[in-house]
Structure 1
C-alpha cells in the first residue's frame, strides 16, 4: 500500500479535492474527547487520595483511557470528514497511532497528580500532551489509503500544535486550581477542565485537518479497512468511555461519601477526646505529640506560658511537667518515672504519680497498631482517699468480727459440757442483749461493706454515698464494741467444766447398731414424762463419718422436745427415721408436742434463740446442732414439713441431710470446724 505525505510552506489548493464535515459527528468527537479528559482528570483525584498502593496502576489505566479518548476523537473526526474518493485505513498503523497518546497521557497524569506541581512543570507537561496528540494525529493520518496524496501546511500545523498547547496549559491550570477566576466546587473544576481538554484535542485535530490538502493520484494503489470498521472500533471505544464515565462518577461519589463520613467520625473522635474527664496525649512513632485534649492542658499547662503540646517532643514535655507539677520523694524516683514514661514504648504501663498539690493521678500507656502511643491521665485523688478510709473501716470491722467469733466459739464449747445448764443460768439474761446487739451491728457492717464493694466495682461510687456508708460503719462499730466489751467481761466469769473437748476421728459404723446403743439413754430420760421414742432405721446403712456428732445433734432434738414440746405434758411421742438417697443420709425427727412458736421459726438455728429463758434456757442447742451439721458433717439441717416421711407426727419436724462418706475431708476435730 502506498502512502504519500508531504509537508510544505505553500501549496496551490486549486487542484485539491474538496471535503466536507458532518456537524453531528464533529460535535460527538468533541464530546468524546471531553468525556475522556473528565474521566482521566478524576482518576487524578483517586491517585491523590493515596489510599492503597495501586496509584501507579491507576496512572497507567488513566493514561490508557485518555489516550483511547484522544484516538477515538481523532478517528471520529475522520469519519465526520468526507472526500469524493474512497478512503481506507491501514489497520496496523491505526492501532499504533494510539501509543503516543497513551504514553503522553501517562506522563501527564504522573506529573499533574503531584500536589505541589510548579508552573514550569505545568507548561512542560502541557507541551508533552500537545505533542502526543499531534503525533497520534499524524500517525493516524498516515494510516489513510486513497488515490490521492496529502500535503500539510507547516504554518497551520504549527498553529494547531501551539493552540493545543495553550489549551492544555489552561486545562492543567484549572485542574491544579491555579486560575482563581472560577469559583467552582471540585466537580465543577473537573467538568471545566474536561471541556478545555476536549477543546485542546479538537482544536489540534481540526486545525491540522485544515492544514491538509488532498490531491488526486490514480497511480496510488489502495487497501485496508474501510470507514465501517473504523466506526465499529469507535463505537466500542465510546461505549467503554461511557461505562468508565459512569464508574468514575459512581466511585467518585462513593469516595466523597466515605471522606465525608471519615471527616464526621474524625470530628466526633476529636470532640469525644476533648470532652474526656481524663487527660489524653497521643504521640507518633517518633515521639512527637500529635494530640492533647483540654483536660490535659488545664491540668498540666494552665499556668505554663511555655507549654507547646502538639508538635513537641513528648520527652521534653514530660521533663517540664515533672519539674513543675509532679511530686517525688527524691531525684532518683523522678528519673525513674521519666525513664519509664519516655522509654517504655513497646509495652503498656500503668503508673500512679502524685502532684505537688496533693492529688493522685493514674497514667496508663498503650501502643497502637500504627506504633503511636496513647497516654491517659486519670484523677484518682478521691478514689485513693476512699480506698484508704475503706481499708481502715474493713480492718476495724474484721477485727470486731474476729472478736465476735472468738466469743461465740467459747460459748459453743461451753454447751458441750455436761454441767452447762447450771453454769449459764445466772448469766444468760446478761449475755443475751449485748451479744444480740453486737451480732446485729456486725451483720449490718458486713452488709454495708458488701454493698460498698459492689458499688466500687461498678464504678458508681460517689463521695456522698461513701461518707454515708462510712458514718454508718463507725456507728455500728461503736455499738458493737461497747456491747462486746460487756460480753467479754461476762465471759471471763465462766467456769468451764470440760467433759470431752476433742471430737473422735471419723470412723465407719452401722447406723442401726449405733441407734441400739443410744436408745436406752434417750428412753430412760423420756420415761419420766411418759414420752415414747420410736425409730425406723434400715439395717443396711453404713457411714464413714463422725458418729458422736450425729448423735449429739439428735440428742439436742430430744432434749428440746422434752423441755419445750412436752413441757407440762404426761405423754407424747417422738419418731426418728432414716433414708438413703444418692449417697446422702436423710434423718427425719418429729414429735407431736406443742410445736414451734411462729415467732422464732425463721431464727430457730440462730444463737440464743429460746422461748424458755425464764426457766434457764440459753438458746445454744440448735445453733450448735446447725454448726455440727453444716461445718463438721458437711450437710444441711432445716425445720419444716417432709412429704416423704412415713410418720404421721407433724407438730415439730427437723430434717437433716448429710453425706454417707466423709473420707475426702481432712479436718479431725470439732474445734477446727465449728464456726459461728
Structure 2
C-alpha cells in the first residue's frame, strides 16, 4: 500500500488503518522488515500476525493466519487438564480455553489466583518473538493430588524432575531457542532484496529449522517475484503518470481539480495563461469565492451541489470578467471521481473558452433579425399584393355569380316577352283587318263582337306575360341590389330562396336534378341577404358542376331552421361525394378538381370566408364517396352592435 494514503485500507477484509495494526506499521523504520504480535481482528474475529516491510514510499504487508492456535490450545488443555490463554502486551485476551477469565488480564497476574469457585496456579510466560503473553491456569486441586500420590518420594521426584527439566532446557536451547534467536536476528537485518537465508550447520541442522528456512526462502522467492512485478508496474505507472502530467500541463484547454468542498487542488499551465492567475495563489481557493467576483456564485454553488449529491457529470456555460474588465465566456465540464467507498474524492474540471463562439452567435442573431425583418417586409408586400389579387378574383367570382343571375333572368324573361311580342303582333293584325272592314262597310255586329273577343284574349295574354316579365325583373333587381349592399336586413327566407332558385333555373331546368327546400313559409332572419344569396348560389353551382355527371340525376336538399338566435342551413346532395383528402382542402383558394372544365377553385373559399368572416359563424363538411356531400352552416342572427 502507498503510505501517503489518507484513508483506511481494506486488506483481505481487514482494516489496516485502525487499531493495533496501524500502530504496528508506525513503528517500522524505512527498510525494516518486522513481524507484529498476535492481533485479533474485530472485523472477522480472527487472530493474525502481520509481516511488513517498510519501503521508501510504501509498505509490503503479508498476513499470517493463526486461527488454528485455538484448536491446538484446546487439544493441549483438554489432554493436560489445564487452561491456556494468550494475551496482548496490554493484557487483552486474544485466545483462551477458559470460560472464567475476564476479557482483560492485569500484566502482573501470577501465583495463586481465584477465578469463580476454584483456585488456580497461574504461570505466565512471555512469547519473545511475538511479544504476547501465554498464561497457564493449573487447578490447585490437581497439584495437591499429585503431591499426595508422591508422598515420601517427593524429594526424589523433585530431583529427577529437575534433572529432566535441565536436560530439556539444554535440548530446547540448542535446537530451538538459539536457532530461533539467530533466525530472528537474520530477519531483523534482512531487506527483502532478493537474498535468501542459508541453513548454516550445525546451528540449523534440525529438521524443523531447515523446514522453516526452506518455507521462508520459498515465500521470499514469491515475494521477490511479486516485488519485481510491482516494481515493473510501478515504473510503467510512473511513465504513464509523467505522460499524463505533461499532457495535462501542455494542452491549450484549462484543466483543474477540486476537492470535495470545491477548493482548487491543482491547475495546469493554460489555467494560468488564459485566466491570467498565478498558480500558487490559486491553490486552496474556493471556486465559489472566485465566482462571486463574476456575480455567479449561486449558479456555481448549485452546479457543484448537483455533482456532489448526484455524482453525475455536468456541463454549463460561464461568464467571467478578466483582469482587463473584458467579458469572456467559457464552457465548463465537471466530472466527479469517487473513492472505493462511493464518496466524492475530487472533481475534475475542464474549461474551454467560447467567447468567440458566443460573439459569433450574437452577430449571427443580429444578421438573422435584420434579414428576418427584410423578409417579413417582402412577405408582407407579397401578401398584400396576393390579397389584392385574391380580392379581385373574389369580385370576379361574385360578378360571375351575378352573370349566372343575369343569364338566368335573360333566359327566363325571353319567353314572356316573346309571347307578348307575338300577341301584340296578332292584335295589330286584327286591328288593321277590323279597320279595313269598317271602312268598306263590310263590318257586321257579329264580326265586331268576334274582333272584341280576340282583343280581350290577346290583352289577357299580354298582361299575363308582361306581369311575369315584371316579376322576373323585380326578382333580379332585388337579388342584384342585395348582393352589393352589405347591410343587415330582416327578410323572409323562403321567398328569398325561391328567388335565388328562380335566378338559377336555367342552370338545372334541362337536367334531371330536383330540389327539395325545407323551410317554414314564415321564417324570417336578420342577417345579410347578399351573403346568403352568394352562399346558396356557390353551393348550388358547386353541386351541379361536381356532384353529378352530365345526364346524371339526383336530389339537392336545402333545409333552413332557427333556434333562438342561431340559424342553421343544411345543404346536401346525393351525388358522387369526395374522399377525405379532398374534403381537407375544399376551402383552400384555387383548389379545384374541375380546372379543365373552367373551375376557378374560389367558390367554396368564398363560402367559407363569408360564413366565418361576415356572418361570424362556422361551416362543416362531411362527404362519403358515392353517397353524397353535406354542408352544415350555423351563424348568429342576434342583433349586432
Q: TM-score range by the shorter chain?
A: 0.3 to 0.5
The structure having more radius of gyration, on CA atoms, is 2
Larger RCO, structure (CA 8 Å, separation 6 or more): 1
Higher helix share: 1
Question: What TM-score comes out, normalization by structure 2 length?
Answer: 0.40
Question: What TM-score comes out, normalization by structure 1 length?
Answer: 0.38
